Structure 1
């Protein structure tokens, strides 16, 4: 077992990387994995979790969620919180697809209303929402409009006719992260973002028509507006080329800043700057702009999804937003550390915020039950809706996993898997898949991911988020 000699099991599904694992660690590392999942843990992911623990001002421990695998700097599934006075901010702790995230629409339709029409519906969604590598939108924004997108996010989309005000109430940060400054976004990032607003992109991004297969918590599901047999639509995408370029630009800035401020890096990909520095403030302002772009992007796509359903059924099909969560972002939040409330900068890289009941950041409609948490599967596998818990606030700074986690690289998948065969197998199971090319299906085949049921069992068992509903795919449009 790869982790046997490197990790110490301190409780059920919690493994510790001790501070003597490598020089410079300020805190231990904690990895949340079952005995079964730890069999596939990469040594590189352990090293990355330990490297994060060397960063200045880190609180408690460096963490990796059960979907952990190797990333850039931080592992995917990595979480770390930094003291605002002594800590740092690192683009490697956010990622290149800033605010890659997931939103879930609940519909008034039931599965029996949709299944006979699933081919037509997924074709309609595929036609309505541009997808694929380098895909460009059906409309263009000018420089002034793009600046407003960067500044106000989903609110810009709603104010311009893409959605309703209630959508904003059910987005993390209300779809508008404060502190964004378009002036801190480079011309190259703006040029990449301008033609891509309102596009799905490629990779693991998707639109999925689903059925609520099982409810685990009736009271919370009722608060979320979910019931068995109901049709939902899940949207997974991010900030496209704009976010990628923002990260690329600021990785270079942070490499210089690390040297300037005398920060010893155990991995160049963890380049960072003190939170009080001009470089950190500039990056946060640009990152927030990228996050807002992503929220506007998902808001526009939601509008086109609603239009496609209403056009197909020749009536207004109600599709309310359950919630929209971010995966790749750094945020200033208040948390309790050693019995004292502290302002922290929490990095979630391929991890999801999962706040408990009572937190002011949770929408009023959900404040008594906790923040909705949306964990997507991959075409043939289930997705889950969970809720944030107080245990999660105590154990993970209100964080949980963001998906199942890859076990095979895209290049390996393309070598070993045939997309047309995956498509055929899924069709035999009643799941229709639409993609720009078969390679896009091969790269994201269910078998390249961990078993999501096992991943969810870990977060639910630990109590860092609790199961509410299980969703299964009916039809999928891949990026």
Structure 2
């Protein structure tokens, strides 16, 4: 059985089902190392918030269906004093509809083939995906914040989305009858999967950029992208293959780690010294505490939809899917402060800034 490392001050706090899922993947032939990060939680057969390394095999299902899903963080040109929640809410319409821009040109500019054109390009999607406007709550490392050329008085925008239906189609095309053995990395099957996987990564980055530009255009803003990181991928690593399933990379520069829509997010910088201990990976968010089904069952009995449209931090939520607004409620997620503390205690990150949510956008009918 491969080695499992848990990044947590108290591993007993992890969901036993998530640990069982890690143990199951540890028995895969060719699996060498596994890391469970502080946001570890049970997924659809595979633990989320984990990294998996093999010297010579690839498992498409460890990446999952949302290849390239990730977080982009933008600093807008809007000053905090000009940001009016009511006005912003009224302007955010039409963003779930297909992007009216030139998809073929956008794909070509990104070096992607025309056959990847899709009406989903430039749209957020469902599940836990979102766009969130934020403000700097605290500059934890003021010197580093200033050195990066960042501005405290700006409105920030975080975009969480992925490759939409493209990733699902790729997973289906490469699904294995016997998943435990994986695909030999040197095989034609692996070469074919990796080519499609890499295109989906680029598609997801493009998707997040177009989403950000659509929101900015809707509000008459401009912005600059501070970072864009994928947390569902497989990449070459130490002469082998590193699968990240809900795990942010610690070898690509700055990382943003969001809390729930009712909690803070963190801008962090990975620390290289102990990065290999965690397979050069970090938590990608707070991690679920309850499943979507459980969250809906627990909360829909106690609260009305209107109760879910405001958070304890005073932020607003736009989500006109009556089920999703309960499934993605703040109560369904772990305490992000504890996740961050665990990463700091493990010597994996330094926090640069803490961000407060102002408005979270999930979906709107029109």
Determine if the TM-score, normalized by the shorter chain, exceeds 0.5: yes
Tell me what 1:163 maps to.
none
Q: CA deviation at 1:306?
A: 2.3
1:194 maps to which of 114, 118, 122 = 118
Q: CA deviation at 1:225?
A: 3.3
Indicate conservation of the 8 Å contact 2:29/2:181, yes or no: no
Q: CA deviation at 1:248?
A: 2.1
2:77 maps to which of 108, 118, 122 = 108
CA distance 1:281–1:216, change in 2 (3 Å): same
The two structures, once aligned, show a CA RMSD in angstroms of 2.4
Q: Partners in 1 of 2:30 and 2:144 — Cα distance? A: 37
2:262 maps to which of 380, 383, 397 = 380
Indicate conservation of the 8 Å contact 2:309/2:317, yes or no: no
Q: CA deviation at 1:372?
A: 0.5
CA distance 1:273–1:49, change in 2 (3 Å): same
Indicate conservation of the 8 Å contact 1:432/1:475, yes or no: yes
Matched, 1:88 2:63: no
Q: CA deviation at 1:382?
A: 0.7
Q: Partners in 2 of 1:347 and 1:409 — Cα distance? A: 23
Higher-RCO chain (CA-CA 8 Å, sequence separation at least 6): 2
Q: CA deviation at 1:39?
A: 4.6
Q: Partners in 2 of 1:413 and 1:469 — Cα distance? A: 30
Structure 2: give runs of 5+ residues left out of the alignment: none
Tell me what 1:336 maps to.
none
Matched, 1:241 2:165: yes
Q: Partners in 2 of 1:448 and 1:377 — Cα distance? A: 11
Between 407-416 and 202-211, the greater mean CA deviation after superposition:
407-416
2:229 maps to which of 325, 330, 333 = 325
CA distance 1:304–1:47, change in 2 (3 Å): same
Q: CA deviation at 1:239?
A: 0.8
1:414 maps to which of 296, 300, 303 = 296
Tell me what 1:309 maps to.
219
Structure 1 segment 352-363 matched on structure 2, within 5 A: 352-355=248-251, 362=252
State TM-score, norm by structure 1: 0.70
Q: Partners in 2 of 1:434 and 1:52 — Cα distance? A: 38
1:434 maps to which of 310, 318, 341 = 318
Q: Partners in 2 of 1:384 and 1:121 — Cα distance? A: 23
CA distance 1:425–1:122, change in 2 (3 Å): closer
Q: Partners in 2 of 1:119 and 1:300 — Cα distance? A: 24
Indicate conservation of the 8 Å contact 1:89/1:345, yes or no: yes
Q: What SS does structure 1 have at the residue aligned with 2:82?
A: helix
Per-residue deviation, residues 146-171 of structure 1 (Å, max 9, x unmatched): 9x83xx7xx43xxxxxxxxxxxxxxx
Q: Partners in 2 of 1:247 and 1:140 — Cα distance? A: 28
Per-residue deviation, residues 30-50 of structure 1 (Å, max 9, x unmatched): 111222xx4542222112212
Tell me what 2:88 maps to.
121
Indicate conservation of the 8 Å contact 1:207/1:233, yes or no: yes
Indicate conservation of the 8 Å contact 1:40/1:407, yes or no: no
Q: Partners in 2 of 1:399 and 1:406 — Cα distance? A: 18
Higher gyration radius (CA) = 1
Q: CA deviation at 1:423?
A: 2.5
Q: CA deviation at 1:79?
A: 0.3
Tell me what 1:366 maps to.
none
Per-residue deviation, residues 323-378 of structure 1 (Å, max 9, x unmatched): 00101000113xxxxxxxx32211110000012xxxxxx5xxxxxxxx10111122
Tell me what 1:339 maps to.
none
Q: What SS does structure 1 have at the residue aligned with 2:68?
A: coil
- Tell me the number of residue pairs that the alignment of Structure 1 and Structure 2 aligns: 360
Structure 1: give runs of 5+ residues left out of the alignment: 1-24, 131-135, 157-175, 259-267, 311-316, 334-341, 356-361, 363-370
Matched, 1:42 2:15: yes
State TM-score, norm by structure 2: 0.90
1:137 maps to which of 84, 95, 98 = 98
Q: CA deviation at 1:196?
A: 0.8
Q: CA deviation at 1:429?
A: 4.3
Q: What SS does structure 2 have at the residue aligned with 1:62?
A: strand
**Bigger proportion of residues as helix:** 1
Q: CA deviation at 1:283?
A: 1.1
Tell me what 1:451 maps to.
335
